Amino acid sequence: MIEMTVETTDVRADRIAAAARAGATAWSGVTLTQRREMLQQFAGLVERHASEWVRIATGIKGIDPASPAVGEEWISGPWATLYYAGHLLQTVAKMEAGGTPTDGFEMRAVPGDRVAVQVLPHSVWDRLLLSGFSAEVWCEPGVSETEVRASAGLGLRAPADVHGTCVVLGAGNIFSIAPLDALYVLYADNRSVALKLNPVTDALLPMFQAIFAPFIRIGAVQIFTSDLELGASVIAHNDIDAVHMTGSEATHDAIVWGPGEEGRANRTAGTPRLRKPITSELGGVSPVIVVPGRWSKRDLEFQARHVATMRLHNSGSNCVAGQVVVLSSDWAQKGEFLTALRRALADAPERPAWYPGSAGRVAAARDGVTPHEAVGGTPERTLLPVLDSGRDEPAFENEFFGPVLGVTELGGTGADFLARAIDFSNDRLRGTLGANIVAHPRDLRAIGSERLDEMLAGLRYGTIALNAWTAVGYLSPFATWGAFPGHTADDIQSGHGVVHNGLLLARPERTVVRGPFRPFPRSMATGQMSLAPVPPWFVHNRTAATTGERLVRFSIAPRWRKLPSVFASALRG
C-alpha cells in the first residue's frame, strides 16, 4: 500500500521560500546579455501561447468567443505583455552596450522644478499604431535632467548585486498584471520572484509557467496558487525579503497590520505585523473631468462612448475604471451629454459582471442613493446621476469595482471649472491612481499650454490622461504605473511605488498621457494630426478581437508588410 504524504502549510511555505532564496543566488549570476536573451525567449513564448491565453481568459470571464469583447483579452493580456517586454528589451540592450536607458529620449522642464521625459511616441511603430497619443513621465521636483539620465537603470546597473527575494501577489482582474509585475521585480528591483496567483486565475497557471520557462529553469521565478493561509505564511517567511501586490486597500492593510481586531490594534499602536518592504497598486476612485465647451453632436456621442468605456471595460472590474464624472452645472450641453452617456452605457454589448462579489458591490453602491438608474445591459449596469459634490457621498470614498458610474457637478467654465474640478478630485475622492480629463482642443488652447501644465502639476494622481483613458498609461511600456507618491502605511489609499517604468527611472512622480479629442478622420478638423480610428479598447468597437490578435502578431516581429492588416481591422471598428 502506498502512503500519500500531504505537505503542511508550513512545509510548503518553507519549500517556496527556500526556492526563492536559491533563485536569487542564481539570478545574481545572470549577465545583462543573458537577461536580454531570456526576455527575448519570454516574448516568443507569449506570442506562441497567446491564443491559449485568450481562450482561457474568455472562459474565466464568461465571454462569448464570438464577441468583440474577446479583444479586451487580446489587448490587456498578451499584447500588453509583449508590448512591455519588447520595450524593456530595448533598455536592457542599451545598458548591455554601455549606454543608459534614456539615450535618445527628449526631456523638457515642466512646472514645479520638474523634468518630463517623453516616452510615447518613441518609435515609428508608436507613431503609426498609437497615432495622436503621447505620454511623458514627470519626475519628482528637484530632480535635474542630468540626474534623471545618470540614475536610470535601477537594479540593472549592478545585476550581480541581487536584492534578495520577493513575493508578488498577482491580481485577478486583468491578466497581464501578474506577469508584468513579475518582470518588473526581476529587472527593476533585481529580485527573484515567487508569484502567487489570485484564485480567479488558477486556470492560467500552466500557461504562465510556459511563458516564464526561461526564468523558471534557473529558479529566478516560481509560480503557485494558494489559499490565504499559505500566502500569509510565505509572506511572513524569513527568507522572503519584500512583497509586491496589486489588489485592494483592505487586502494591503490586512497584510501590513493584520486582520480584523488585531489589525486595528496594531494600527493604533503603530506596530505593523509586516516588517519588510512592500510596494502596492491598490486602485481608487478615478475622476473623469469633462471641461465644458461647444461640442458637435458627434463629439458628444464619441466622448460619451469614451467615458462609458472607462467604466464598462472588463465589466467595470478595473482599478483604473472611471467612477465619478465631474460636469459643470453651467455647461449648456450638460443635458445632451448625459443623454448620450446613458445611451452609450445602454448600447454597450452584453457581457457578464463576472468578477467575484460584483453583484454585492453594485447593490451596496445603489443602497440609499436616490436616484439610481439601471441603464440597460445586465441589471447591474447602473448610473448615479445626481451625486452631491458638497456631501460625503459613498461613491467618492469607495471603489465600486463593478459597472456603476456616478455623476456630480461643480460650477464654472473653462480654466475656472478645471481648477475647481482638480481641487475636488484631490480633496474629496479617495485614491490617486488615475484621473481623466476630457476637453475640446479649442478650450485647451484658451487655457494655454503653460497654464495647463501648471494645473496638471497640481492634480495629484499617478497617471493623468487628457483626452485619453488612463489605461493608455497602463499599456505604455515606458510610462510608470502606480499611485501618486506620498501615501503612508496607515493611509495607503492607492498604494506605494510604481511598476512598468520601462526606462527604469529612479524617481518618477507621475505619467501624463494625451490623446486625440476626435478619432480619424474628424481629428483633422481640430488641428490634431492623428490617424487613430476608434481605439480597439472601446467597448463599442466591433472589430476589437481581430485588431487585438493582429497587434499581438505584429508586436512579436514588427514589419511594414504587417501594418495594412492591422489598420484595415482597426478602421472597421
At 428 the pLDDT is: 97
In a domain, 232, yes or no: no
Question: What is the reported pLDDT for 1?
Answer: 43
Does some domain include residue 466?
A: no
- Is position 323 within any domain? yes
In degrees and rounded to multiples of 5, residue 285 shows phi and psi of: -100, 110
Half-sphere exposure of residue 111: CA atoms within 13 angstroms, side-chain side: 11
Q: Which residues pair with 138 in a beta bridge?
A: 116, 510
> Is residue 337 predicted with pLDDT exceeding 60?
yes
Q: Is 261 exposed, middle or buried (0-12, 13-18, 19+ CB in 10 A)?
A: exposed
Dihedral pair phi/psi, residue 189, rounded to 5°? -85, -15
DSSP H or E segment with residue 21 = helix 9-28
Enclosing domain of residue 336: 286-430
| 461 in a structural domain | no
DSSP state of 524: G
What is the structure's pLDDT at 525?
66
**Burial of 510 from C-beta contacts in 10 A (0-12 / 13-18 / 19+):** buried
What CATH number does the domain containing 350 carry? Answer: 3.40.309.10
Q: Beta-carbon neighbour count of residue 268 at 10 Å?
A: 10
Residues with Cβ within 8 Å of residue 261, at least 6 apart in sequence = none
* Cβ partners under 8 Å of residue 76, min gap 6: 174, 175, 176, 314, 475, 537
Least confident of 11-20, 422-431, 553-562: 553-562
At 140, give phi and psi (nearest 5°).
-60, 150
Asked whether residue 347 is assigned to any structural domain, the reply reads: yes
What is the value of pTM for the model shown? 0.96
Q: What's the confidence (pLDDT) of residue 2? A: 47
Q: What pLDDT is attached to residue 527?
A: 66
Q: Do residues 503 and 101 make contact, with C-beta atoms less than 8 angstroms apart?
A: yes
Q: Is the pLDDT of residue 522 over 80?
A: no
User: What's the number of domains the chain is made of?
Assistant: 1
pLDDT digit string, tens, across residues 363-392: 999 887 778 999 987 668 999 999 999 999
Report pLDDT for 228.
Answer: 86
Q: What is the pLDDT of residues 529-551, one digit of tens each?
A: 666 678 889 999 999 999 999 99
Task: Read off φ and ψ for residue 355, nearest 5 degrees.
Answer: -70, 135
In a domain, 201, yes or no: no
- Quote the pLDDT of residue 566: 84
Least confident of 102-116, 147-161, 273-287, 352-366: 352-366
Cell of 425: 478630485
Query: Residue 129: pLDDT above 90?
Result: no
Answer yes or no: is 221 within a domain.
Answer: no
- On whether residue 418 sits in a domain, the answer given is yes
Using CA atoms, how far residue 373 sits from 52, 126, 284, 365, 382, in Å, is 38, 40, 23, 12, 6
